Chains A and B, each alone.
Chain A
Amino acid sequence: MAEVEETLKRIQSHKGVIGTMVVNAEGIPIRTTLDNSTTVQYAGLLHQLTMKARSTVRDIDPQNDLTFLRIRSKKHEIMVAPGTLAFHFLVKSSFCFTR
């Protein structure tokens, strides 16, 4: 239990991390550092995207599996670590870049 706390705290304390979220398989946010509405929004949207990404990877190669998903946008980067039971989302700001 304590390790979990520690891990989450450590992740949150990294440079550039805005918020952390832990979501279970049903899409219920277990742990979050962001406010409720944002959490709910992210959880709902990202959950579906992650499922789709995972199914894509497995469709292409059934032995393969999704290990990590990064969504870089103009303002932030969203990093998703999918597990079997829980998903770990991270909203992180990346350095400003132009494309």
Chain B
Amino acid sequence: MEIVYVYVKKRSEFGKQCNFSDRQAELNIDIAPNPALAEQFVERNPVDTGIQCSVSMSEHEANTERFEMETRGVNHVEGGWPKDVNPLELEQTIRFRKKVEKDENYINTIMQLGSIMEHCIKQNNAIDIYEEYFHDEEAVEVTEEAPSAKTINVFRDPQEIKRAATHLSWHPDGNRKLAVAYSCLDFQRAPVGMSNDSYIWDLENPNKPELTLKPSSPLVTLEYNPKDSHVLLGGCYNGQIACWDTRKGSLVADLSTIEFSHRDPVYGTIWLQSKTGTECFSASTDGQVMWWDIRKISEPTEVVIMDITRKEQLENALGAISLEFESTLPTKFMVGTEQGIIISCNRKAKTPAEKIVCTFSGHHGPIYALQRNPFYPKNFLTVGDWTARIWSEDSRESSIMWTKYHMAYLTDAAWSPVRPAVFFTTKMDGTLDIWDFVFKQCDPALSLKVCDEALFCLRAQDNGCLIACGSQLGTTTLLEVSSGLSTLQRNERNIASSMFERETRREKILEARHREMRLKEKGKVEGRDEEQRDEGLPTDLEALVNKAEEEFFDIIFAELKKQEADAIKPKPMPQQPSSEEGQVAQEGEDATGERGGDEEEEDLA
């Protein structure tokens, strides 16, 4: 169907101007709707249409009146002069000024303003409020955070019968593993059924040890070989030395023969720096230090007896309880003994008697830890009785620095591998102390209660951040120290070394004075009665001992009497005095009984 409209125009009318006219509307065509077409379409339901719902706006432009601007400058010329005065004429200005000055008002004003002005000037002169203090000191970048340490992980002894963790050793590569030796150090009091196993823990997994080491006797010490991280050396409770290879499994790879081993628990084992990486040495309270080569571990390669009288007598030997070896000083080693004496030895001495170079005494009890300062090897740290002491090799009579006497026995100590002035100590009451002696010398910089039972051993990781400590119930706690304590401070090495030197010098001076005084004393006494002294000598010892005994018992009885007197004093409860007296009397008996026993022991020793 086409809609066509025919438009007709005559040829003669071409080009004529258009003449528009109006006419009525005409219906050209009418097409009715065809409902059949609707079937070709499908109704769409729902219908999606976009609608805009917004404010209708319109845009306009307008021109405002122009704002006129001008840039101008001002030339200052003296002005304000009254009309009759020509500012250029000096005379006139002077005259004017004089006139003003004569004015009374002027005078008063000046006086008043003058006093105000003076006040402010004096203020200014008194203090400079904008003064910069310390402008030549750089800003301290280190944030003044308090030293802190937090527990990261706790490794518990999976055995039911808990044993003490007596030694820790970090894995030499990467420090991701920790080897812990468990044993019961109470003499013959190890509970029946106690396992001999020691474990290697992976730091990521505190629930289950990575490897179990099964020796025939519990391990007292355990050390990784710094050259070969698969090999471990263990010192047993029965005196044997055992070594493991972790690739081979948990059974002992090699064991020393009982006849040639130590007779007492092996308290210290250290690997030596050798080309083969298989040499080590061990020390025990039987008074011997033995060198071993683990390729032939059945027999020690060398034995040195810790006899300070240099007579090689095993009976006089001192029991070694800690061992120290620094790889930077390969021929020297130090032994800490049960008697509180540190023996410094030289391995390469010609005769066995010369092996013992010198001794340092000063502790009252066994020396549980002995370590040289990693930065200044001439100074070493010891822990024994209730103090920790720092010694210098030059000063033999006494330690150069020491802590105060604590309430609990100190069990272990270690220097921080990163900071020369920081060391850690553990105590029997379960606290870990971190000492920083460039910061504070009297007290630890940080004291943490790690657990309720005693802490027995301590080991710092090589990066100085992590510390592992083992407790009496076999729990090994891993702590992370705050960055202030594990990053080397500015100038710290100089300060630490100067402190060491200063203290060494002080001790030397004191030593010299003491020696002088002793010489003087000797000179005086010798001059007087030599003969008398010679006779008196043999009987002296016994007489002294008897006298000491008498004095001792006198003191005890005096104390007891005092206690009884206190008990007799009137008390609120009438029954108490008699029971207390009875108790006190019994206690007194027990005390004398015990002390009597001790006395006897002392006599024997």
Contacts and interface: CB of A to CB of B under 8 A. Distances in A.
The winner among A8, A17, A85, A99 for most chain B CB atoms within 10 A is: A85
Contacts of B97: 28, 30-31
B128 A44 contact: no
A70 B121 contact: no
A97 B132 contact: yes
B111 A77 contact: no
Secondary structure call for the A interface: mixed
B79 interface: yes
Interface residues of A, number: 42
Given A1-B102, A94-B128, A98-B132, A17 B121 contact: yes
Interface string A41-53: 1001100000000
28 contacts: A1-B107, A3-B111, A4-B106, A4-B107, A4-B111, A7-B110, A10-B118, A14-B125, A16-B121, A17-B121, A24-B80, A26-B81, A28-B97, A30-B100, A30-B101, A30-B106, A31-B97, A68-B116, A79-B117, A85-B106, A88-B110, A88-B113, A92-B121, A94-B124, A94-B130, A95-B128, A97-B130, A98-B130
A70 B135 CA distance: 26
Contacts, number: 107
A99 B199 CA distance: 63
B79 A90 contact: no
Contacts of A26: 79-82
B105 interface: yes
Contacts of B100: 24, 28, 30
Interface of A: 1, 3-4, 7-8, 10-11, 14-17, 22, 24, 26-28, 30-31, 40-41, 44-45, 67-68, 70, 72, 77, 79, 81, 83-88, 90, 92, 94-95, 97-99
B125 A15 contact: yes
B60 interface: no
A7 B95 CA distance: 22
Among all A-B residue pairs, the 7 with the closest Cβ atoms:
A97-B130, A26-B80, A7-B114, A95-B128, A27-B80, A88-B113, A81-B113
B114 A88 contact: yes
Given A4-B101, A15-B125, 4 more contacts: A4-B107, A11-B114, A22-B110, A81-B120
A1 B99 CA distance: 12
Contact of B117 (A11, A16, A45, A77): A11
B109 A3 contact: no
Contacts of A1: 101-102, 107
B113 A86 contact: yes
Contacts of A15: 125
A63 B33 CA distance: 91
Contacts of A85: 105-106, 109
